[in-house]
Structure 1
Amino acid sequence: MSAVALLVLSFFALMFFNVPISVSLVLSSFFTTFYLGLPPMVMVQRMADPLDNISLMAIPFFIMAGQIMTESGIAKKLVDFSNIFVGHVRGGLSFANIVASMFFGGMSGSSVADTASIGSVLIPEMVRHGYDRDYSIAVTVTSSTEGLVIPPSHNAIIYAYAAGGLSIARLFLAGAIPGILIGLCLMVPAYVIAVKEGYPTVPRIKGKEALKIVLDSSWGLFTIAIILGGVLSGVFTATESSVVAVIYALLIATFVYKGLSRDGFFRVLRESLTTAAAVLFLISSATAFAWLLAYLKVPDAVAAAILRVSHNKYAVLLLINVVLLFLGMIMDMAPLILITTPIFLPVVKQVGVDPIHFGVIMMMNLGIGLCTPPVGNALFVGCVVGKRKIEQVTKAMFPFYVAMVGALLLVTYVPSIAMWLPSLLR
């Protein structure tokens, strides 16, 4: 028990002193290794093991594809495309924000990239049309979580690895409808507030102008079709699809949209390498930490404690959701997936929950954490882009938090929302 306390308390103590999460995971793991008298080489091997996995190679390439799209201005074209369908509704720019996030998130797989790209285009535009700045930031930040579950999502790849090698294709399909559901739920408070505040509409886009926008944005939207079509048809694996996505994004950004300069390309390389290195090091350090938890039989103890409370599937899922919502407020998404999956997955399996279904629940749940202080990366980026303090924006976020939790509960207790498309693949 003292080893468990050392592992957990040293980790949180290091985080309290602003040591990066990945470094905190490594240091606390080595402290505990020395305390247990295990050879330090065991930790080194555990850190190296996850990197020898071809599926994880998809992550840096999906990150790079998202960076290319961000740099080349594809987000603006997706906003224009979304305006064709929802711009004329009361508060139409907020709806366009939500719909554009569905498309852009489906290509980048990153809520932070989505917030930065869509936000830099739409937050100033919404403010210029008379929308409250805090409301504009809140819509942008919360809608960015759609991309965490709408395929392709590199978080789904991380979960598939942590769960012991689940089908990435089935996970991608499972996230499609829940991702759209998040957007639909967010539209409810967005519309209510827009009507109450009398926010404006934008003129309906018709005829040749609408056709031109559709044709112009179709090149970017086709990225999703290439990735999903290739993976689901078996033409290429998820890893191969990520490479194809990079090549295709590079071609359309350079020769079709002509929005990627030489300096922009080098920025893409720098940002992609930095982000990919951070993610892979995080996976490496979290895997070592999770191995120590398993070695100390923490998952067994947690499972026994939860099942002592109840064996009812719905009660167990509610309890796990509450725990994940709390953890998501204080830790980032990727390490939580890697650390908590080995703990909670055996529990939900015992009560009859499909691992694919639980993966979608986990990603939706932890996505809420990206929008909440104190550790909410999407919220931080949204506040920087929107030029507001976090405490000012948080109040405007509450109606959207309620909508996101509502979407989470729907997916949790109506499994067919997530499992219908994967059942067709099977």
Structure 2
Amino acid sequence: MNAIILISVLMILMALRVPVVFSLLLSCLFYVTFLKEIPMIILAHRMLGSLQIFPLLSLPLYILAADIMNSGRITEEMFNLSRSLVGHIRGSMGHVNVVASMIFAGMSGSITADTAGLGKIEIPMMTKAGYDKSFAVAVTGASSIIGPIMPPSIQMILYAMIAEQSVGRLFVGGAIPGMVMGLAIMVTIYFYAVRRKYPYDANRAPWAEIWKSFRRSVWALMTPVIILGGIVTGIFTPTEAAVVAVVYAFVISFFVYRTLQLKDMLKMMVGSAVTSALILVIMGAASVFGWIVTMENIPALIRDFIMATTDQQWVVLIILNLVFLVAGCFFDICAIILVFTPMILPVLTAFQIDLVHWGVVEVLNVCIGFLTPPFGVGLYVLSDLSGLSVSQVMKAVTPFLIPLLISLTLITFFPQLVLWLPEIVFG
């Protein structure tokens, strides 16, 4: 009974648009005040204790590295390289949008920040080239979903903390799914571009131009290579890789591209600290809520209920996909990972679902929910960014959910799309 009341209080608070962190803390406070005689000081100890984890140091560092990389010419060079590679394909600027997101997105720690940050560049770029604004908005929203899947990913780090899995395996495991998603979105773009006769570069870029664009952007392209290469070879841990990413981003921005000034660093450091604080306070609140949930034996109850309903792994995967897709429409992505993951771990274990495989599937689910009508937060972000109404954004985005859901289905039911590369790399 206490478990039902606890979950009900949380749902009511969230329905009332109370911020996620306060919804979690107020529901916990209600529990210890009215349902159990537990000293409130324990909540503070639990909240602070959950944040004393060494890998969490990587959160502000990856965010700072992304801010530095976004500071100037690096983003421009990424777009120039993407255009030289895919500019000759029908719907070229849409493909450039996707390729740039695959290369560059996902490091800010927030899909909202990725959508807004790259969208400020991508949407005007596409409309100026002759594309409908609604189409540019849809492509930008769909391509932003790739960011948290491609390494490095803050969402993967949070899942790894909760599920006690290797951050390196999750990073590497997201590479192929990210490419599958990118290819699926590009096929959809091509279909619409042919149908609507969108422009494209008539001639394929000569190799000399491609080489010139590659040479200019190679320093930026080396960032994920250095991060993943160092983790895979064991030169440094994922946490140490975040430090390397910051130093490397600073060196190429300040000394190579010369677009960064020292006075900008303070603003970026403050910004990354604020963003990190938002994530960490949600993580601390979610940890307290998770402790109460475990104490009430809710994960075991969920496991027993599902096992009594079915004994088929594929049915369980469908149920969990639906739960996380719906949750992604309403709640903060980080909060979903932190609150829901501990509840379903016994279910995953009971049905022998690989935790690395599910980690990638879970992150993809909540990210698609971010863009799903009618309540997906991403719809409102894109509306504010573009000046289009929410209904216009919904109409434009909906067709792009098809390739995303197809990708999700493939990744869910063909685990080797996630697991093959980590098995090759780590054994």
Equivalences for residues 34-45 of structure 1 within 5 A: 34-35=33-34, 36-45=36-45
Deviation digits for residues 331-379 of structure 1 (CA, Å, limit 9, x no counterpart):
1111111111111122122112111011011011111022135664444
TM-score, with structure 1 as normaliser = 0.95
Pairwise CA distance, 1:284: 0.5
Could you tell me which residue of structure 2 aligns to residue 234 of structure 1? 234
How many residues align? The count is 424
Q: For the residues of structure 1 that align with 2:375 and 2:253, how far apart are their CA atoms? A: 33
Could you tell me which residue of structure 2 aligns to residue 325 of structure 1? 325
Q: For the residues of structure 1 that align with 2:130 and 2:278, how far apart are their CA atoms? A: 39
Q: For the residues of structure 2 that align with 1:336 and 1:420, how far apart are their CA atoms? A: 27
Task: Check whether the contact 1:63–1:272 (CA below 8 A) recurs between aligned residues.
Answer: yes
Say yes or no: does 1:398 pair with 2:398: yes
Could you tell me which residue of structure 2 aligns to residue 8 of structure 1? 7
Equivalent residue letter for 1:111: I
| Residue identity (%) | 37
Say yes or no: does 1:178 pair with 2:177: yes
Structure 2 runs not aligned, ≥5 long: none
Equivalences for residues 339-418 of structure 1 within 5 A: 339-373=339-373, 376-418=376-418
Could you tell me which residue of structure 2 aligns to residue 158 of structure 1? 158
Q: For the residues of structure 2 that align with 1:331 and 1:60, how far apart are their CA atoms? A: 22
Could you tell me which residue of structure 2 aligns to residue 257 of structure 1? 257
Say yes or no: does 1:336 pair with 2:336: yes
Change (3 A) 1:59 1:374: farther
Equivalences for residues 102-251 of structure 1 within 5 A: 102-105=102-105, 107-108=107-108, 110-163=110-163, 165-203=164-202, 204-251=204-251
Q: For the residues of structure 1 that align with 2:269 and 2:374, how far apart are their CA atoms? A: 30
Pairwise CA distance, 1:235: 0.7
Q: For the residues of structure 1 that align with 2:74 and 2:400, how far apart are their CA atoms? A: 26
RMSD: 1.6
Change (3 A) 1:283 1:73: farther
Q: For the residues of structure 2 that align with 1:208 and 1:268, how far apart are their CA atoms? A: 36
SS at match of 2:33: helix
Q: For the residues of structure 2 that align with 1:386 and 1:66, how far apart are their CA atoms? A: 23
SS at match of 1:134: helix
Q: For the residues of structure 2 that align with 1:116 and 1:250, how far apart are their CA atoms? A: 23
SS at match of 1:147: coil
Change (3 A) 1:44 1:107: closer
Q: For the residues of structure 2 that align with 1:327 and 1:62, how far apart are their CA atoms? A: 26
Pairwise CA distance, 1:324: 0.9
Pairwise CA distance, 1:267: 2.8
Pairwise CA distance, 1:264: 3.3
SS at match of 1:94: helix
Q: For the residues of structure 1 that align with 2:383 and 2:348, how far apart are their CA atoms? A: 36
Change (3 A) 1:250 1:379: farther
Change (3 A) 1:63 1:378: farther
Change (3 A) 1:276 1:6: same
Say yes or no: does 1:48 pair with 2:38: no
Task: Check whether the contact 1:330–1:374 (CA below 8 A) recurs between aligned residues.
Answer: no
Equivalences for residues 38-117 of structure 1 within 5 A: 38-105=38-105, 107-108=107-108, 110-117=110-117
Could you tell me which residue of structure 1 aligns to residue 32 of structure 2? 33
